[in-house]
């Protein structure tokens, strides 16, 4: 071997040993000595993750017995499943509401009821729909971190002036359809210049169309995808696809890009109205602060005035996985997050409404979203709709999204798509019940 | 080559380069845009102003909240893990592949088939037992799950190197053996230098694979100051807050820059091969 | 060298991998195989259910759709990627100035992070104002909707796969270095044309590398996950891009059916194995090794 090669080899060897030694020293930092460490994994990253870090820091400063060790990392669901399966779960996990009952159905969560009641965190402390969405009978499985409600966002510069205010904007589906017919524009080749409304945009709540027309997706406890209200909702969707032509709506087909796309049809003026969550204002503030917009409740079918003021709700939540080593201390931290001042600070920083029944005037006054009062009202509406409390819900949601795409692209008629979805869901439902049944 | 053919090759290469470099240019232009211009329809290539400050902003992103510069900590961790993986991968895979390619031993071909078969089982169904295993070893939260396996070889690298080793004529090694060289000498002094392009490929792929690995660090690391760069890139993404695309792209560019530089120099070994094996 | 000595050295040299196989791989493989015969949610103890998972797979419409999508994708992506990677590697092996730069530029797509690629592709292939369709309209075509039309989305994925052939290209480039220059010189003296030299010198000489890349491409295509997952979540539109590995992943981590996912994983294993054996059988007469 040449001397140069020997020298190179020696250098590589030294570097390798050095890296191995150094790597061993870069391991988990020990939390505060003398304190109980609570491990908290949160799916929020970026600015949202940093806002939660502030809450964690405040909690750690507020007392001297417990130290919350905070990890902000996406993919927390998968990481938590693997760690729980390996008997090594975190003490607190920040997940989505849709996942709560998946975990709960498999006995993977700690029952929070007794601890919550003892801490005064009962149903009347919350906006009822948010609390109910996390409990099953008398059992509470999770508490909110930040919630959301959705409404129809409107660009006043793209609609006729007589409907360009929240007070005058259409209240019913039929009026919305008429407005859409009036203002939508297409090129000679059929491509869209602008749509008044497009059901496929942004495409995140396809499970919600049926309920927005009055459907109960778990009628009598069994998943029902092809009930008359849902069929009616999908027929309504099909009319939009038919009007614009499948080719045109395909450009706005839901689900392209598993991330908030920078090509946002609402901000770029491809649609005049869009159904979206309270957080839409965050995007507008970041990307196009000068954009004019307002929000109204999602319209309801004219013959169902009882549905007026409805909204779809979602929540980011905190849970204590079963097998967590520090459940009691973990709950102390969760309870801290539920304090009105802490919760309002967090929700305001995230641009969300508060899940608590009592909301301070300052919260509304200082909130970055000027329509925050509307989103608060929507959450309080008796017609508010939240994801079904079943671990089977992600399946229902997935099948409805698929049925939506089949209808929207003209592959199937609404009835056909929903009947097919129902047939598939029936088989899966049977398997699911066997899976969660305790042996 | 005839001059007309040289010109033809150049034209083809320039056209292809333009096509292949598009996504990279897209990153670059997004990285220096003001945030508002990252979101236009149709997208715009030329920013109204070039904000080089996005690069320092991306590097120091989050450092105020954390009290240290996370990007640099992640870079240190990534360098440590990558170095250990590349050295381990080259050391183990070359010698194992040599054994499979040029030595006969009972059960060799069957074991080689089994080696190939391990690549055919998708990783998601192996994650649960692998996690359980590393937990039993007490490795969760440390770098060990990310680099120790590299020292035991990988099916991909063994297969690739074996294919290359088998194209090297046997008479060379036979001659050395007759001269009394040990098998290790034959491997290190004769076969390895001849397979330099392939070894470079393995080193490069291990480098890229480790540098960009997301899933491994996601599953096995449990503390922010042990994170790698690929995990760190998430720090720019939010669920509902509006992602700063320009900073994300600036940071991504900085993350892949070392790979581009390493590649630029590594591919130079791809001309030596002919010179050394030209005597055949 | 006598054969016992050779065997001892051989096993000694292979020892790292033998250890790695036994210590790090054997247990996970056996575990997942056993799990495929159970009802296993990860969060609970597995429960033995015999062949039920495999039986369910045979009548699972979505599984069959995903399987069909994946096979179509493989049939398209493997040949296209192979031809393109070899062609590019040969071009990058020409002796012209500035090759270091060309090589780096052509390899760049392999390095661009997934999210950046996806945002770009969503624009390039956009049926309305996308770059590709603007070009196609320019030359008088009436272009399809690459992303939104269930009949076209799969082809878009195949095109994207071809564009990311950098890794295979690099391996071919390394392989080309081992082709002895004197073979070409002899052919040049005979006045052989480029195609003739490619057909009778280059391809036979790099045949072991082609075999390697084709097998890796088969494995990679059947297991394709990241690009469709990021660009077409849930296999949108209407499951036309829903791939085997996506359905497997959803069952494992979204629906908590790890047992079912494991059964799928082992069916995937058998399919890849069958395709690999077919590739080996087809290649037997064409792959040229120096040693046995």
Q: What is the pLDDT along chain A (439 residues), one digit of tens a residue?
A: 677 888 888 999 999 999 888 888 876 666 677 899 999 999 998 889 999 999 999 999 999 999 999 999 888 889 999 999 998 899 999 999 999 999 999 999 999 999 999 999 999 999 999 999 999 988 999 999 999 999 999 999 999 999 999 999 999 999 999 999 999 999 887 888 899 999 988 888 999 999 999 999 999 899 999 999 999 999 999 999 999 988 788 776 544 444 455 567 888 888 999 999 999 999 899 888 999 999 999 999 999 999 999 999 999 999 999 999 999 999 999 999 999 999 999 999 999 999 999 999 999 999 999 999 999 999 999 999 999 999 999 999 999 999 999 999 899 999 999 999 999 999 999 999 988 886 4
Domains of chain B: 62-236 (1.10.3720.10)
Q: With contacts defined as CB-CB under 8 Å, which chain C residues touch A411? A: 150, 238
Is residue C177's pLDDT more than 90?
no
Write phi, then psi, for A149 (nearest 5 degrees). -130, 160
ipTM of the complex: 0.91
Predicted confidence at residue A257, as pLDDT, reads 47
pLDDT for the residue C291? 66
Candidates A80, A98, A256, A262: best to mutate against C (most CBs of C within 10 A) is A256
The Cα A63–Cα A67 span in angstroms is: 9
Residue C234's pLDDT band, with cuts at 50, 70 and 90, is: confident
**How far off is chain C from A93, nearest CA to CA, in Å?**
15
CA atoms within 13 A on the CB side of A143: 29
Q: Does A194 touch chain B (CB under 8 A)?
A: no
pLDDT tens digits along B76-106: 999 999 999 999 999 999 999 999 999 999 9
Nearest chain B CA: its distance from C219 CA (Å): 6
Closest Cα in chain A, distance from residue B111 (Å): 30
Phi and psi for B116 in degrees, rounded to 5? -60, -40
Please name the member of A26, A75, A85 whose beta carbon is closest to the beta carbon of B77: A26
Region C249-254: mean pLDDT is 94
Contact indicator for B239, A48 with CB cutoff of 8 Å: yes
A294-296 and A143-154 strand pairing: antiparallel
For β-strands A36-42 and A273-277, DSSP reports them as: unpaired
Task: Report the candidate in B248, A85, B260, A357 with the shortest Cα–Cα distance to residue C119.
Answer: B248
3-state secondary structure of C13: helix
* Domains of chain C, first to last: 1-35 (no CATH), 51-283 (1.10.3720.10)
DSSP-assigned states of every residue in C10-52:
HHHHHHHHHHHIIIIIHHHHHHHHHHTTEE--SSS--EE-TTH
The pLDDT value recorded for residue C292 is: 56
CB nearest C238 (choices: A191, A406, A435): A406
Q: Is the pTM of this model over 0.90?
A: yes
Question: Of the candidates B260, B236, B211, which has an alpha carbon nearest to the alpha carbon of residue B54?
Answer: B236
The interface residues of chain A toward chain B in range 291-350, judged by CB-CB distance below 8 A, are 316, 350
The three-class DSSP label of residue B64 is helix
C242: closest chain A residue by CA: A402
Of B9, B43, B95, the CB nearest to C96: B9
Q: For position B273, what pLDDT does the model report?
A: 46
* DSSP 8-state code for residue A299: P
Neighbouring chains to B with at least 3 Cβ pairs closer than 8 Å: A, C
Q: Any idea of the CA torsion for C202, C207, C209, C215, to the nearest 10 degrees? A: 140
Q: What angle do CA A53, A59, A60 make, to 5 degrees?
A: 90
List pLDDT tens digits, range C259-280: 999 999 999 999 999 999 999 9
Please indicate if any CB of chain C lies within 8 Å of the CB of B252: yes
3-state helix, strand, coil in chain C (%, to 5): 70, 0, 25
CB hemisphere CA count around A223 (13 angstroms)? 30
Dihedral of CA atoms B160, B163, B166, B168 in degrees, nearest 10, equals -70
pLDDT recorded at residue A258: 42
Distance of residue B274 Cα from the nearest chain C Cα, in angstroms: 5
Residue found under tokens 């990310």: B146
Total Cβ atoms within 10 A of residue C274: 11
Q: Do A29 and B223 touch (CB under 8 A)?
A: yes
Which among C236, C239, C257 is the nearest to A254, CB-wise?
C236
Q: Which residue of C has its CA nearest to B174?
A: C1
Kindly list the residues from chain B whose CB atom is less than 8 angstroms away from the CB atom of residue A277.
Answer: 240
- Which H helix or E strand runs over B126? none
- Specify the pLDDT at position A214: 95
Cα dihedral C252, C45, A389, A231 sign = positive
What is the 3-state composition of chain B as percent helix, strand, coil, each rounded to the nearest 5? 75, 0, 25
Q: Of A182-186, B123-127, B191-195, C28-32, where does mean pLDDT reach its minimum?
A: B191-195
CB A29 within 8 A of CB A62: no
In this prediction, residue B280 carries a pLDDT of 32
Residue A31: per-residue pLDDT? 63
Q: Would you say C2 and C231 are in contact if contact means Cβ atoms under 8 Å apart?
A: no
Q: Give the tokens for residue A6.
A: 């020997």
- The reply to whether residue C128 touches residue A251, judged by beta carbons under 8 angstroms, is yes
Hey, which residues does A321 pair with through a beta bridge?
Answer: A109
Q: What is the pLDDT of residue B208?
A: 94
Check whether B278 has a pLDDT greater than 80: no
Strand residues in chain C grouped as ranges (E): 38-39, 47-48
The two most distant CA atoms of chain C are separated, in Å, by 72
Chain-chain contact of C115 with A77 (C-beta, under 8 angstroms)? no
> In this complex, do A409 and C256 lie within 8 Å of one another by their Cβ atoms?
no
Measured between CA atoms, the residue of chain B closest to residue A1 is B189
Interface of C with A in 123-142 (CB under 8 A): 123, 126-128
The helix/strand/coil state of B243 is coil
Best probe of the C interface among B16, B33, B125, by most C CBs < 10 A, is B125
Higher pLDDT pick, B268 / A305: A305
pLDDT of residue B23: 79
Cα dist from A263 to B36, B69, C130, whole Å: 12, 31, 12
Answer whether A28 sits within 8 Å of B223, measured CB to CB: yes
Which of A75, A207, A258, A319 has the highest number of chain C CBs within 10 A, making it the mutation to test binding with C? Answer: A258
Looking only at Cα atoms, what is the longest distance across chain A?
A: 90
Q: Which of B245, B260, B270 sits opposite C173 (nearest CB)?
A: B270
**Which residues in chain A (347-406) have CB-CB distances under 8 A to chain B?**
350-352
Mean residue pLDDT of chain B comes to: 89
Q: Kindly determine whether residue C122 and residue A84, on different chains, have CB atoms separated by under 8 Å.
A: no
Interface of B with C in 43-72 (CB under 8 A): 43
Mean pLDDT of all residues belonging to chain C: 90
Q: Which candidate in B70, B131, B150, B242 is best for mutational testing of the A interface (most A CBs within 10 A)?
A: B242
Q: What is the pLDDT of residue A267?
A: 86
- What's the mean pLDDT in B265-273? 75
Residue C207 near residue C187 (C-beta atoms within 8 A): no
Residue of B nearest to A69 (CA): B223
Q: What integer pLDDT is reported at residue A262 of this predicted model? A: 56
C20 touches chain B (CB under 8 A): yes
- What is the maximum span of chain B, computed from C-alpha positions, in angstroms? 72
Chains B, C: CB contacts within 8 A come to 277
Interface probe with A: pick from C54, C136, C145, most Cβ of A within 10 Å: C145
In chain A the domains, ranked by start, together with CATH numbers, are 36-148+314-385 (3.40.190.10), 149-312+388-436 (3.40.190.10)
What is the DSSP-derived secondary structure letter of residue A306? G
Query: How many Cβ pairs within 8 Å bridge chains A and C?
Result: 112
How many Cα atoms occupy the beta-carbon half-sphere of B25 within 13 Å? 12
């Amino acid at each position: 071997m040449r001397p140069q090669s020997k020298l190179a080899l020696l250098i590589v060897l030294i570097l390798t040993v050095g890296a191995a030694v150094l790597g061993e020293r870069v391991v988990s930092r020990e939390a505060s000595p003398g304190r109980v460490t609570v491990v908290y994994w949160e799916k929020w990253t970026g600015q949202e993750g940093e806002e939660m870090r502030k809450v964690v820091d405040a909690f750690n400063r507020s007392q001297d017995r417990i130290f919350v060790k905070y990890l902000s990392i996406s993919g927390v669901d998968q990481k938590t499943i693997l760690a729980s399966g390996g008997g090594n779960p975190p003490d607190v996990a920040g997940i989505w509401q849709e996942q709560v009952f998946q975990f709960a159905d498999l006995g993977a969560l700690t029952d929070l009821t007794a601890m919550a009641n003892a801490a005064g965190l009962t149903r009347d402390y919350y906006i009822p729909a948010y609390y109910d969405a996390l409990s099953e009978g008398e059992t509470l499985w999770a508490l909110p971190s930040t919630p959301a409600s959705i409404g129809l966002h409107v660009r006043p510069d793209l609609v006729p002036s007589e409907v360009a205010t929240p007070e005058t904007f259409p209240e019913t589906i039929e009026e919305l359809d008429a407005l859409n017919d009036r203002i939508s524009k297409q090129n000679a080749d059929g491509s869209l210049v602008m749509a008044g409304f497009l059901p496929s945009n942004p495409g995140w709540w396809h499970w919600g169309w049926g309920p927005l027309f009055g459907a109960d997706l778990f009628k009598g406890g069994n998943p029902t995808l092809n009930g008359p209200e849902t069929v009616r909702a999908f027929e309504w969707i099909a009319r939009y696809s038919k009007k614009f032509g499948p080719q045109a709506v395909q450009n706005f087909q839901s689900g392209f890009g598993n991330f908030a796309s920078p090509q946002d049809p609402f901000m770029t003026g491809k649609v005049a109205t869009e159904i979206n969550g309270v957080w839409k204002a965050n995007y507008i503030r970041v990307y196009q602060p000068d954009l004019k917009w307002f929000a109204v409740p999602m319209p309801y079918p004219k013959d169902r005035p009882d549905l007026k003021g409805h909204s779809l709700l979602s929540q980011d939540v905190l849970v204590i996985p079963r097998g967590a080593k520090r459940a009691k201390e973990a709950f102390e931290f969760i309870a801290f997050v539920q304090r009105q001042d802490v919760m309002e600070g967090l929700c305001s920083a995230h641009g969300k409404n508060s899940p608590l029944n009592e909301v301070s005037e300052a919260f509304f006054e200082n909130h970055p979203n000027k329509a925050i009062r509307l989103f608060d009202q929507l959450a309080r509406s008796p017609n508010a709709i939240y994801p079904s409390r079943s671990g089977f819900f992600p399946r229902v949601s997935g099948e409805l999204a698929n049925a939506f795409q089949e209808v929207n692209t003209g592959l199937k008629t609404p009835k056909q798509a929903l009947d097919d979805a129902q047939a598939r869901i029936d088989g899966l439902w049977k398997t699911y019940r066997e899976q969660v049944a305790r042996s | 080559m005839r001059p007309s053919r040289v010109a033809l090759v150049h034209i083809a290469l320039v056209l292809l380069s333009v096509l292949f470099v598009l996504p990279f240019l897209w990153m670059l232009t997004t990285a220096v845009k003001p945030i508002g211009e990252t979101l236009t329809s149709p997208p715009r290539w030329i920013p109204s102003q070039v904000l080089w400050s996005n690069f320092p902003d991306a590097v120091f992103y989050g450092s105020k909240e954390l009290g240290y510069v996370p990007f640099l900590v992640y870079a240190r961790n990534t360098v440590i893990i990558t170095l250990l993986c590349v050295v381990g991968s080259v050391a183990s895979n070359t010698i194992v592949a040599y054994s499979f390619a040029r030595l006969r031993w009972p059960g060799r071909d069957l074991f080689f088939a089994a080696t190939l078969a391990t690549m055919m089982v998708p990783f998601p169904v192996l994650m649960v037992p692998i996690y359980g295993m590393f937990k039993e070893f007490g490795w969760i939260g440390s770098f060990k799950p990310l680099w120790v396996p590299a020292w035991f070889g990988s099916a991909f690298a063994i297969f690739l190197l074996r294919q290359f080793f088998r194209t090297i004529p046997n008479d060379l090694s036979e001659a050395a053996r007759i001269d009394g060289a040990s098998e290790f000498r034959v491997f290190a002094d004769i076969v390895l230098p001849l397979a330099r392009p392939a070894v470079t490929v393995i080193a490069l792929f291990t480098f890229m694979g480790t540098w960009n690995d997301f899933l491994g660090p996601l599953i096995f690391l449990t503390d922010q100051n042990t994170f790698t760069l690929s995990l760190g890139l998430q720090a720019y993404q939010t669920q509902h807050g509006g992602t700063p695309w320009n900073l994300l792209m600036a940071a991504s560019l900085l993350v892949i820059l070392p790979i581009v530089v390493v590649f630029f120099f590594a591919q130079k070994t791809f001309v030596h091969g002919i010179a050394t094996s030209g005597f055949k | 060298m006598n054969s016992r000595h050779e065997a001892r050295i051989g096993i000694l040299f292979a020892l790292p991998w033998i250890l790695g196989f036994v210590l790090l791989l054997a247990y996970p493989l056996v575990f997942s195989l056993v799990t495929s015969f159970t009802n296993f949610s990860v969060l609970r103890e597995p429960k033995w259910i015999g062949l039920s998972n495999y039986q369910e797979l045979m009548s699972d419409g979505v599984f069959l759709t995903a399987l069909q999508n994946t096979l179509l994708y493989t049939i398209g992506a493997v040949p296209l990627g192979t031809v393109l990677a070899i062609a590019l590697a040969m071009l990058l092996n020409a002796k012209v100035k500035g090759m270091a730069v060309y090589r780096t530029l052509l390899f760049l797509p392999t390095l661009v992070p997934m999210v950046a690629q996806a945002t770009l592709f969503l624009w390039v292939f956009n049926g309305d104002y996308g770059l590709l369709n603007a070009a196609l309209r320019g030359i008088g075509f009436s272009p399809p909707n690459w992303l939104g039309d269930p009949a076209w989305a799969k082809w878009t994925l195949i095109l994207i796969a071809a564009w990311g052939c950098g890794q295979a290209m690099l391996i071919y480039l390394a392989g080309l270095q081992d082709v002895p220059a004197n073979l070409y010189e002899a052919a040049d003296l005979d006045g052989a044309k480029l195609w003739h030299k490619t057909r009778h010198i280059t391809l036979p000489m790099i045949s072991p590398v082609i075999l390697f890349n084709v097998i890796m491409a088969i494995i990679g295509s059947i297991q394709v996950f990241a690009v469709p997952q990021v660009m077409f979540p849930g296999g949108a539109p209407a499951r036309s891009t829903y791939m085997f590995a996506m359905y497997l992943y959803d069952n494992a981590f979204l629906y908590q059916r790890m047992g079912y996912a494991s059964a799928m994983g082992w069916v995937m294993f058998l399919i890849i194995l069958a395709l690999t054996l077919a590739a080996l059988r087809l290649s037997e007469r064409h792959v040229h090794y120096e040693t046995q």
